[in-house]
Amino acid sequence: MHPLQQHITAHTSLETLEFERLLAHFEPVDLSKGQLLIEPGNKVEHQYFVLNGCLRTFMIDSDGKEHTLQFAIENWWVSDYISYYKETVSICSVECIEDCSLLKIRRVDLEQLFNVLPQVERFFRRQLERAFVAFQLRILSNLHKTAEERYHLFIRSYPHIEQRVKNYQIASYLGITPESLSRLRKLRLSTDH
Q: Which residues are at the interface with DNA (CB under 7 A)?
A: 33-34, 146-148, 166-168, 175-186
Residue 133 binds its own copies (CB under 8 A): yes
Residue 146 binds its own copies (CB under 8 A): no
How crowded is the C-beta side of 56, counted as CA atoms within 13 Å? 25
> Per-residue x/- mask for its own copies, residues 54 to 73, rule CB under 8 A?
-----x-x-x-x-x-x----
Q: CA-to-CA distance for 147 and 145, rounded, in angstroms? A: 7
- Residue 125 binding: pick among DNA, its own copies, none (C-beta 5-8 Å cut-off by kind): its own copies
- Do 57 and 68 touch, CB atoms closer than 8 A? yes
Angle, alpha carbons 39-34-171 (nearest 5°)? 85
3-class state of residue 90 by DSSP: coil
Please state at what angle helix 178-191 crosses helix 167-174, rounded to 10 degrees: 100
- Considering the complex, state which of residue 30 and residue 135 has its C-beta at the smaller distance from its own copies: 135
Q: CA-to-CA distance for 46 and 159, rounded, in angstroms? A: 28
- Do 86 and 96 touch, CB atoms closer than 8 A? no
Residue 81 binds its own copies (CB under 8 A): yes
Q: Give the nearest distance from C-beta 28 to its own copies in angstroms.
A: 26
Strand pairing category for 66-72 and 100-106? unpaired
Q: Count of residues binding its own copies (CB under 8 A)?
A: 33
Q: Which of residues 6, 13, 20, 132 is near its own copies by CB under 8 A?
A: 132
From 96-104, 140-148, 153-161, 178-186, span contacting its own copies (CB under 8 A):
140-148
Q: Which of residues 99, 121, 183, 188 is near its own copies by CB under 8 A?
A: 121
From 3-11, 26-34, 81-89, 181-189, span contacting its own copies (CB under 8 A):
81-89
| Residue 49 CB contacts under 8 Å (≥ 6 apart), including other chains | 4, 7, 26, 75, 76, 77, 102, 103, 104, 105
Residues that bind its own copies (CB under 8 A): 59, 61, 63, 65, 67, 69, 81-82, 85-86, 114, 118, 121-122, 124-125, 128-133, 135-140, 142-144, 172, 175
